[in-house]
Amino acid sequence: MTLSSEILTRFAYQLLIATKVPYPKAELVAKSLVAANLRGVDSHGLQLLPFYIELILMGNIDINTDGRVVTESGGSLVYDGQNGIGQWISEICCGHAIRLGRDHGVSLVVSRESNHFGAAAFWAQRMSAAGMIGIVMCNASPLVAPWQGKDQRFGTNPICVSVPGPDSWLLDMATTTVALGKILNAQFHGRSTIPEGWAMDSDGVPTADTQTALSGLLMPLGGYKGSGLAMMAEILCAVLSGGAMSTELGGIRIQGQPMRTSQMFLAIDVARFVSLDEFARRMQSLVGMVKSSRTATGFEEVLVAGDPEWRMEVERRRDGIPVSDGAWQNLVQAAEKLGVSVPS
Ligand SMILES: NC(=O)c1ccc[n+]([C@@H]2O[C@H](COP(=O)([O-])OP(=O)(O)OC[C@H]3O[C@@H](n4cnc5c(N)ncnc54)[C@H](O)[C@@H]3O)[C@@H](O)[C@H]2O)c1
Find the CATH number of the domain harbouring 211: 3.30.60.50
**237, 114 contact by CB (below 8 A):** no
64 and 202 housed in the same domain: no
What pLDDT is recorded for position 179?
83
User: In this structure, is residue 235 part of a structural domain?
Assistant: yes
User: In this structure, is residue 22 part of a structural domain?
Assistant: yes
**199 φ/ψ angles, rounded to the nearest 5 degrees:** -155, 170
- Atom number in ligand 1 closest to CA 116: 1
215 and 148 housed in the same domain: no
Q: Which of 29, 38, 44 has most ligand 1 atoms within 8 Å of its beta carbon, as the pocket-test mutant? A: 44
Q: For ligand 1, is residue 306 a contact (CB within 6 Å)?
A: yes
102 and 136 housed in the same domain: yes
Other Cβ atoms closer than 10 A to 71: 10
- State the pTM of this model: 0.96
Q: Where are the beta strands (DSSP E) in 50-90?
A: 68-73, 76-80
214 and 108 housed in the same domain: no
User: In this structure, is residue 115 part of a structural domain?
Assistant: yes
79 DSSP β-pair partners: 69, 111
100 and 190 housed in the same domain: no
Residue-wise DSSP of 322-344? E--HHHHHHHHHHHHHHTPPPP-
Atom 44 of ligand 1: nearest residue by CA position: 119
| Listed residue (101, 21, 34) closest to 63, CA to CA | 21
> In total, how many domains does the chain have?
2
- Atom number in ligand 1 closest to CA 120: 43
Q: Would you mind telling me the total number of residues written for the chain in this entry?
A: 344
- pLDDT (tens digit per residue) in 271-287: 999 999 999 999 999 99
Q: How are beta strands 76-80 and 106-114 bridged, if at all?
A: parallel
How far does the centroid of ligand 1 lie from the alpha carbon of residue 45, in Å?
Answer: 13
User: In this structure, is residue 156 part of a structural domain?
Assistant: yes
- pLDDT (tens digit per residue) in 329-338: 999 999 999 9
- Atom number in ligand 1 closest to CA 176: 15
d(CA 125, CA 57): 30
At residue 15, what is the residue type? L
212 and 171 housed in the same domain: no
d(CA 16, CA 30): 8
**Which value, to the nearest 10 degrees, does the dihedral of the CA atoms of residues 159, 164, 165, 167 take?**
10
12 and 128 housed in the same domain: yes
58 and 192 housed in the same domain: no
Q: Mean pLDDT score of the chain, rounded to an integer?
A: 96
Contacts of 39 by beta carbon, 8 Å cutoff, 6+ apart: 119, 121, 309, 310, 312, 313
How far does the centroid of ligand 1 lie from the alpha carbon of residue 39, in Å?
Answer: 11
d(CA 186, CA 237): 30
Mean per-residue pLDDT, 230-249: 98
Find the CATH number of the domain harbouring 9: 3.30.1370.60
User: In this structure, is residue 288 part of a structural domain?
Assistant: no
- pLDDT (tens digit per residue) in 92-143: 999 999 999 999 999 999 999 999 999 999 999 999 999 999 999 999 999 8
Mean per-residue pLDDT, 156-170: 93
74 and 207 housed in the same domain: no
**210, 186 contact by CB (below 8 A):** yes
d(CA 61, CA 114): 9
d(CA 317, CA 195): 28
d(CA 29, CA 169): 24
User: In this structure, is residue 313 part of a structural domain?
Assistant: no
Sheet holding 217-218, edge to edge: 206-207, 199-200, 217-218
- Atom number in ligand 1 closest to CA 177: 15
What pLDDT is recorded for position 194?
96
110 and 144 housed in the same domain: yes
pLDDT level of residue 168 (50, 70, 90 thresholds): confident
User: In this structure, is residue 293 part of a structural domain?
Assistant: no
198 and 329 housed in the same domain: no
Domain of residue 51: give its range: 2-176+220-274+324-338
193 DSSP β-pair partners: 209
121 and 81 housed in the same domain: yes
Q: For ligand 1, is residue 1 a contact (CB within 6 Å)?
A: no
User: In this structure, is residue 66 part of a structural domain?
Assistant: yes
d(CA 258, CA 62): 9
What pLDDT is recorded for position 279?
97
DSSP percent split of the chain into helix, strand, coil, nearest 5 = 45, 20, 40
The counts of H helices and E strands in the chain are 12, 12
pLDDT level of residue 185 (50, 70, 90 thresholds): confident
How far does the centroid of ligand 1 lie from the alpha carbon of residue 173, in Å?
Answer: 3
How far does the centroid of ligand 1 lie from the alpha carbon of residue 174, in Å?
Answer: 6
